[in-house]
Every structure is written in structure tokens, then in C-alpha cells.
Amino acid sequence: MDEKLRVFYELYSRRRSVREFEDREIEPEKLARLLTVLNMAQSAANRQPWHFIVIERKDRDELNGALRREGFRDAPVIIAACADPDNAWVRKADRRNYAWVDVTIAVTEMIGAATAEGLGTCWIASLDPERVKNILGIPGHMDLVGLVAIGYPKEGLKKENKDRKPLGEVVHHGKW
């Protein structure tokens, strides 16, 4: 396999959710690159129905109190990913609103970039969204899709299994 391709696929097999972080800041230029990737993501009809809040540790007393897992409180950066359903593309046939899909795609792109930068990430959806929206001053009409903890993975973290359903169980060919 071509070297660039090998690196690409290796990146995706390497990514794991990281829930414990080193006491080390993310370099500002790295963070800037991640934010650019977030904002370059594709979205339905290019509506970009998203807002992101970057919350550094020094500004996190209240937010940390709303996080169940202690490990997340040490992450140097947490990004809140917000969807704006009023500005998203809506499919006519069933009125399906694509705001959450678009935000999730943007976050996924950023997670790929963060992995390439040597950073660890974890989505955090297990929270009280209204409480977190209040803490962060997120307007009522916006949806909090989730938080993403980002930082250098704690050294010596044991690799968890990539425990996945067999491909044959979830991929259908031609028809379900």
C-alpha cells in the first residue's frame, strides 16, 4: 500500500476515545488548525448550522461540576458543539432536519485531525443538556449536540479493544 494511504488508514485504526489526559496544554497553533477543520466541514446545502464554544480549563469550574467523569475535567480543552435547527437544511419529503448530522460531521472531521496531531478526544453526550446550556450561555433555540474533550492522552493508558460488530452483520450488498 502507498505510504500516504497507509498513514491515513492507520490514523483511523489508532483513534480511541480518551478519558484521561496529561497535564499539558494544547499548542495554540494546533488548536487553531482543529478549529479550521471544524469550520471547513461539509454540510447539507452548505448551511453550516453550527456554533462551537472552546472552553479552556481555567474557565471550567462550573462546567466541570456538570461532568460525571473525573477524567474529562482534566482535559485542557472542551469544545461544546451546538446545532442551529433554524438554519439547517430540511428534507422536504419527511421534514427531517439535518442540523445534528452536520454538526456531527464537523466534529468527526476535527477528531480525525486531532488524532493526526497526537491528541486524544472523547465525545461527551452523557450530560444534562439544559444545565450545560445554562452554564455556557447557549441560546434556547440552539441544541447542544455534545461536548468533546481534547488533550494529550495520559501516558500508559491501556488500549481498549476496538470492539465492533462484524462487518458482515452491518453491511448489506445490493439490498437489505
Ligand X SMILES: Cc1cc2nc3c(=O)[nH]c(=O)nc-3n(C[C@H](O)[C@H](O)[C@H](O)COP(=O)(O)O)c2cc1C
What residue ranges bind ligand X (CB under 6 A)? 16-17, 19, 69, 122-126, 146, 160, 162
Is beta strand 50-56 parallel, antiparallel or unpaired with respect to 77-83? antiparallel
Q: Least CB distance from residue 14 to ligand X, whole Å? A: 10
Alpha helices in 15-121 (DSSP H): 28-40, 61-65, 70-73, 99-116
Comparing CB distances to ligand X, the nearer of 69 and 96 is: 69
Minimal CB distance residue for ligand X: 126
Q: Least CB distance from residue 142 to ligand X, whole Å? A: 17
Comparing CB distances to ligand X, the nearer of 16 and 33 is: 16
Comparing CB distances to ligand X, the nearer of 11 and 32 is: 11
Comparing CB distances to ligand X, the nearer of 32 and 65 is: 65
Q: Least CB distance from residue 115 to ligand X, whole Å? A: 11
Helix or strand holding residue 149 (H, E): strand 143-151
Q: Least CB distance from residue 16 to ligand X, whole Å? A: 4
Alpha-carbon torsion, ordered 41, 31, 17, 146, to 10 deg: -60
b or e along 145-172 (b: 16 or more beta carbons within 10 Å of the residue's beta carbon)? bbbbbbbbbbeeeeeeeeeeeeeeeeee
